[in-house]
């Protein structure tokens, strides 16, 4: 019976040690994943700032006054006079 107690104690000690090593390893992996998560959050923040800047730039470039000025200067477009406008009936009932 004494020999069984020694084996049982050794088995329990080995199990406890394996469990402790497993806990330390999982904690290490958790820290690595947390570092990756923080890096991804920082990258997302940078991308969000860049996206906001691009949206502001697009809004500035597509204002009606800017589009109209470019159409007049670069494409030599103009608003038609009343006599140049033709209204076509589409033939729909």
Decide: 77 and 71 in contact? Cβ < 8 Å.
yes
Q: Any idea where the domains of the chain sit in the sequence? A: 2-77
Q: CA 24 to CA 21: how far, in whole Å?
A: 5
Please tell me the predicted confidence (pLDDT) of residue 92.
66
Please tell me the predicted confidence (pLDDT) of residue 46.
97
Q: CA 76 to CA 69: how far, in whole Å?
A: 10
Cα distances from 89 to residues 13, 81, 86, in angstroms, run 94, 20, 10
Residue spans of the chain under pLDDT 50:
none
Please tell me the predicted confidence (pLDDT) of residue 56.
93
């Amino acid at each position: 019976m004494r020999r069984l107690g020694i084996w049982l104690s050794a088995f329990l000690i080995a199990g406890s040690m394996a469990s402790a090593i497993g806990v330390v390893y999982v904690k290490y992996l958790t820290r690595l994943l947390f570092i990756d998560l923080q890096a991804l959050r920082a990258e997302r923040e940078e991308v969000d700032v860049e996206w906001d800047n691009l949206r502001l730039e697009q809004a500035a470039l597509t204002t009606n006054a800017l589009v109209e000025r470019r159409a007049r200067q670069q494409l030599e477009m103009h608003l038609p006079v009343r006599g140049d406008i033709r209204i076509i009936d589409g033939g729909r009932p």
